[in-house]
Each structure stands twice: as structure tokens, then as C-alpha cells.
Amino acid sequence: MDLNWLESFLYGLFSGLTDILPVSAEAHRILMLKCFGIQSSTELMKLFAHLGVFGAMYFSCRKQIVRIHRARRLARVPKRRRRRPLDTRSLMDFSLLRTMLIPVILGFLLNRYVEPLKEKLIWIAVLLFLNGIILYIPQFFPTSNRDSRMLSRVEGLLVGLGGALGILPGVSAVGSALSVASICGVERSYGLNMALLMNMFIQVGLIVLDVLALISVGAGTLSFLILIRYLVTAAVSFGAALLGVKLMRLLAANNGYALLALSFDGTMPKFAPNAKRQEIEPRELTVYYDFQCPFVVQSVERLQTYCEENGVPASFLQVDTLQKAKELPCVFNNWAVFYQGKF
């Protein structure tokens, strides 16, 4: 039974969002179809939804993919002929990604043993509960800022194993990989970028499974209107996945500051609310400064001279009172530069 236009739209929306957010895409698709009174979606519908998510993953990770490709291409050039330094960080990212994909590939090979679980709601409920536990565990571990340069192969395999758990209907591949990465001390934004890269390859695996299923059972009756509906599903899935990526990156963003304090009387210091804004209304170059550092004076003078000679609109605001320091839109009060309203 095919979905109607509204159901196709909702199917694409839920597929795109749940494939990125730390909730199970497969479980939510199954539950949504049951709400529609449909036992299962067509293989072609799933294929188009996965194609949409894959397109969003590639679009979101394209800069990182290009960096890795350039680094690998440069690594093949003899050292004496290189015109720029080798990007070892991107090479190590690629090595970590390859390690992460090993458990993912093994997980796909076990996919046929997981299929029966999708037919039983009790198993989906249990696995959704397991997913919540996996997401909660990192709260008990200290955070850190490790990346591919400091992770071992075993840790890379563990992060990949977290992603491989996504084959279970109820467990999120991105969420599980992020949880394991956090336990291993990986910095949140970096961990998210690597999880999204891994998820792009997971989508490739899902597309392959969809194609194999299509070859096995056939595409069924296909008309022009049905094809358009599938394309709409893919487009909505693409847009929803992009929205999910943006939301996840917003949640994973780290402003680079943390407050460390030892209290002797039970009171705890805290950042002023303004310090977390890191935005101002003026769009011109704006510098907040004070004279805690002896080099600030000459830096301000040089920058003022440059801006005057080149016609660059700029404001230089000295932080010379406690009240001004408390009202700053950032935590760094002796040299804070804003441009286009951003810190």
C-alpha cells in the first residue's frame, strides 16, 4: 500500500530528522507507518528517503571530504616536490574514519539477523530504552578535547561499534557513536563531524540494501505521480537532514571557555549572562580592551592607525571599570574583537 502525499511528506520529514538526531530512524519510521495503518513502506520509498539523507550528509561534510582528499593526494607527492605542508590532521582523520567503518561494515553483514526484531514492538521499545541509556552514560565521564591525533585504533573501533549499533531498530547510529566518542574523551564538535562522516557511509550501506531488496521483490506498480511523490519524499528528507545537522552542530558547539573553581565556603562563581552571548549589534570592527597586558597599548595604536589609513570603520572601547567588565558580551575582557557582530 502506497503512502498519500501528506504521509509521504511526513515520512521524508521523520526520516531526515531521525537519521541525524540521536533517536532511532528505523524505529520511528516503523511506528509512524503503524500510525498510518500501513505495515511497511515500499523498498523504493525507503531508497528515496535514504538518498535524500545521503545527499544532506555529503553536502554537510563536503569541506571535510575535500580536505581529506587533498591531503591524501598531496601525501602521494614526494616530499621534496611538495609546495605546501602536508595536512597530517586530515590524514589521521581519514585513518580514524577507516577504523570506525570496520564495525559498521560487520554490522551490515549481520543485518538479516536483525530484520525479525523490526516486526515486534516489544523489541523496538526495549531498544529505544537502551538507546536512552547509551545517550545518558557519558554524563558520568569527564569531558576532554581529544581528536584523531590522540585516539588509538581500539578507541576508533569502539566509536565505530557505537555507529554499528544503529542497525538495531531503536538505537541511533549518530547518537551511539557520539556517546562512545564522548566516553573516550573526544571533543564534542569533532566527534559530531566524524559521526556525520560515518553516517554518510552508513547511508550508502542502507542504499545498497534497498537496491538489493528492490531486485529481490521488485518495485511494484510505478506511475508518474508515484515517482513524483517519491522525489518529494527525497527532497523533504534532504531538507530535514540538513536541519538536523544544523541543530546537532548548534548543540555541540563549544565556545572554548569553562569555569574551574574551588569553593571554600560553598558559594560558586559564575559567568555573567552577557558573557555567553558572544554577539553585539554593531557590524563594524569592534575591539574591547584594557591594559592588563603591556602589549595592548601598541596593538591598539597600530590597529587604529591602520583602520584610519584604510578607511575601515572601527570602534575601540576601553574596559576600565568593573561594571563595564561585567557587561561585556564575552568572557575575555582585555582583548576581545568582534566583526560583523560575531566574537
Question: What pLDDT, in 10s, does the model give residues 116-146?
Answer: 888 888 999 999 999 999 999 998 887 777 8
What pLDDT score was predicted for residue 310? 92
Assess contact for 322 and 300: CB atoms under 8 A: no
Predicted confidence (pLDDT) at residue 314 exceeds the cutoff of 90: yes
Cα 343 versus chain centre, distance = 22
Percent of the chain with pLDDT over 70: 96
Looking only at the bridges linking them, the beta strands covering 314-318 and 285-289 are parallel
Predicted confidence (pLDDT) at residue 42 exceeds the cutoff of 80: no
What pLDDT score was predicted for residue 255? 60
Which of 23-37, 156-170, 211-225, 292-306 bottoms out in mean pLDDT, i.e. has the lowest? 211-225
What pLDDT score was predicted for residue 279? 86
Which of 2-16, 158-172, 215-229 bottoms out in mean pLDDT, i.e. has the lowest? 215-229
Predicted confidence (pLDDT) at residue 32 exceeds the cutoff of 70: yes
**What does each C-alpha distance from 319 to 272, 277, 293, 314 come to in angstroms?**
16, 17, 13, 16
Predicted confidence (pLDDT) at residue 61 exceeds the cutoff of 90: yes
Cβ neighbours of 130 (radius 10 Å): 16
Average pLDDT estimate for 213-240 = 85
